[in-house]
Amino acid sequence: MNLYQKYAAMNARLARGETLYSDANKSKRLRYPRIGIYAGAGTSHSWLWFVEIFDRMGFHDITFLDENAVQHSGLKDLDVLAVSGGDTFAVAEALGAKGADSLKSFVEEGGLYIGACAGAYLPMNSSKEHLNLFNFADVKITNLSKTLPKAERMAHKFCASYGCDFIFHPVREDVRLRTNGLPPFTGPPFLTAPMYGGPGMIVPENSDVLAYYDGFTEKTSFLVSKTLAGDTLLGKAAVVRVYKGKGCFYLFGPHFEHPRFPEANKLVADAIYWDIRETPETRSSSDQEEEILWGDEAKKLIRDIRRELSNSRIVATGLE
């Protein structure tokens, strides 16, 4: 049984109402989560990576949200909101003040936010228009500069303006990461995951650093000098957990949700099990009245979804 099959089997049992406990804490009861994936304005194709790994692992209570859904009670019945890569400014502008208020309430009331790359930048403190609506996490980034570094390659992808400053992306592709054993990031201390614009981070003492940038690999593509890339990332936080109210934000610099990195995918699943609220939200009456498909109708819907997901994967592969 591989990693994905193991988690799928666990989730099947949880969905049937069986009682299971965490390997890291035998007293912590696991629960089958309700997960939302943001697929609205500002996102890139990478939200499909969340779809793929959740499907493989048996997380099938999934809702897809656009900016309108986030603004209008779309988060109400969820345990988790996953936001992947894209254009952070565009996401913030699309969600606006209503979306920011909804996200703030969701986390403060016990929701779990998982942000990768652009999704990691979104809740960080900022003074810039639109982004300043989402000042939820006191996290600073290490890839911000007042002067634009020299691009070694991919000049069209290596930076973005940030007021009078520049956010630059030191590397792309695989980097080596080191965990510190803090639950739920237990297990092997080293793993790899790809970067496509995510930050290095510095956090205050009341936040948890779950993984650090530890080194580069033979697949690492340097967009700036190797020296500057090392100074910007190595030893800096790659994954952080910031508590807010009853919930928390998980901010991932690298794409732990990329489907070709099972060890990283495992830690996304473990984060969900570990930090979702203990008692699920009661579903709204509108959800309880939804039509339920059975038999041939249900099988046809699943086949249609799988076909469209397969087509999306083909497109996404071409965009990487």
The structural domains of the chain, ordered by start, are: 3-140+198-213+228-289 (3.40.50.880)
What is the average per-residue pLDDT within 166-178?
96
Structure tokens at 300: 């046809």
Residue 16: what pLDDT? 94
Alpha carbon separation from 65 to 2, 45, 52, 76, 288 (Å, rounded): 30, 14, 16, 12, 19
* Sequence-separated (6 or more) residues with CB below 8 Å from residue 48: 309, 312, 313, 316
Structure tokens at 183: 């639950």
> What confidence category does residue 180 fall into, taking pLDDT thresholds of 50, 70 and 90?
very high
Judged against a pLDDT cut of 50, whether residue 41 lies above it is answered with yes
In 3-state terms, what secondary structure has residue 99?
Answer: helix
Q: Strands 171-179 and 190-195, how do they pair?
A: antiparallel
> What confidence category does residue 277 fall into, taking pLDDT thresholds of 50, 70 and 90?
confident
Structure tokens at 231: 């100074």
* Sequence-separated (6 or more) residues with CB below 8 Å from residue 319: 44, 45
What is the average per-residue pLDDT within 69-76?
94
How deeply is 62 buried, as exposed, middle or buried, from its count of CB atoms within 10 A (0-12, 13-18, 19+)? middle
Residue 292: what pLDDT? 45
CA pseudo-torsion sign 152, 156, 159, 162: positive
Q: Which residue has the higher pLDDT, 134 or 187?
A: 134
Distance CA 32, CA 184 (A): 17
Average pLDDT, the chain: 90
Q: Which residue has the higher pLDDT, 285 or 297?
A: 297
Residue 163: what pLDDT? 83
Alpha carbon separation from 80 to 114, 194, 312 (Å, rounded): 7, 23, 23
Portion of the chain with pLDDT greater than 70, in percent:
87
Cβ proximity of 266 and 186 under 8 Å = no
Residue 1: what pLDDT? 75
Residue 158: what pLDDT? 86
What is the average per-residue pLDDT within 263-279?
94
Residue 17: what pLDDT? 93
> What confidence category does residue 295 fall into, taking pLDDT thresholds of 50, 70 and 90?
low
Distance CA 117, CA 173 (A): 13
Judged against a pLDDT cut of 80, whether residue 317 lies above it is answered with no
| Cis peptide bond upstream of 184, omega within 30 | yes
What is the average per-residue pLDDT within 116-144?
96
Distance CA 61, CA 58 (A): 9
Residue 288: what pLDDT? 47
Structure tokens at 299: 């099988």
Record the pTM.
0.88
Cβ proximity of 198 and 258 under 8 Å = no
What is the average per-residue pLDDT within 104-126?
97
